Amino acid sequence: MKRQLSGFTSQAGRAAFLAAYDHVLAELWPVPYESVELPTRFGSTHAIVSGPPTAPPLLLLHGAGLSATSWYPNIATYAERFRTYALDTIFDSGRSRQIHLLQSRQDCAAWIGDVLDALGVDQTAILGLSQGGWAAACAARFLPDRVTRLGLLARWAPWPGSSCPTGLPSGSPTCCLAIFGRWVLHICVKFHAAWGRRARAA
């Protein structure tokens, strides 16, 4: 696991990052949203909340080095059917403020459990991209009663030596099959299509 708290190395870097973050929300986030701060044992977790309040919940966990704003190409589709909670992962970049290290996969699951408690959500579907998929798998492994569905996009372990929550080699087909069990895997083609269109436009 990471051996230092997440954060910025300079105030100038922090200001530039947050300005870009706010620009995405103001100019690119296509649906109404609210920003909330959620207390957890590992620090305050920031979430961007969209979608109908009465819709079923969907937790969104971004990839390494990104932030909750990276879901902007797809959030309109997700928010049609779900109350979405796009988190700034506590151990990565974003508006969350980490105060304690996560020491294990169980800690990662505990962080997600704390987030759900702060939201007042008993059970949720979770969609994770890359490192976010690893975190989602931790929740499914150690908080199975709180995860209704699990979607993993290019899931991978975020740190050298990190293993799949099942204990099998990270990224192996056997690991993936062991994780999915009774959960439904969603292959989010729209996610990749949106990014493909963006790349061609550039």
Per-residue pLDDT of the chain (202 residues; tens, 9 = 90+): 556 666 666 788 788 888 999 999 999 999 999 999 999 999 999 999 999 999 999 999 999 889 999 999 999 999 999 999 999 999 887 888 888 888 899 999 999 999 999 999 999 999 999 999 999 999 999 999 999 999 999 766 544 445 555 444 444 433 333 333 333 333 333 333 343 344 344 4
Domain range for residue 195? 11-201
CA 90 – CA 67 distance, rounded (Å): 10
At 174 the pLDDT is: 35
Contact call for residues 53 and 82 (beta carbons, < 8 A): no
Residue 91 — φ and ψ, nearest 5°? Answer: -105, 20
Residue 99 lies in a domain: yes
At 20 the pLDDT is: 92
Contact call for residues 42 and 98 (beta carbons, < 8 A): yes
At 123 the pLDDT is: 97
At 49 the pLDDT is: 98
In sign, the C-alpha dihedral spanning 158, 105, 99, 154 is: positive
First CA to last CA across the chain, in angstroms?
36
Residue 87 lies in a domain: yes
Residue 2 lies in a domain: no
Helices (H), the chain: 11-23, 75-81, 105-119, 131-142, 173-180, 189-201
What is the CATH number for 111? Answer: 3.40.50.1820
At 48 the pLDDT is: 98
The 3-class secondary structure across 107-135, one letter per residue, is: HHHHHHHHHHHHHCCCCEEEEEECHHHHH
Residue 1 lies in a domain: no
Residue 3 lies in a domain: no
At 91 the pLDDT is: 86
Q: What is the pTM of this model?
A: 0.77
| Span 34-53, pLDDT tens digits | 999 999 999 999 999 999 99
Q: Which helix (H) or strand (E) holds 83?
A: strand 83-87
- 183-198 CB burial, b ≥16 within 10 A, e <16: beeeebeebeebeeee
Count of structural domains, the chain:
1
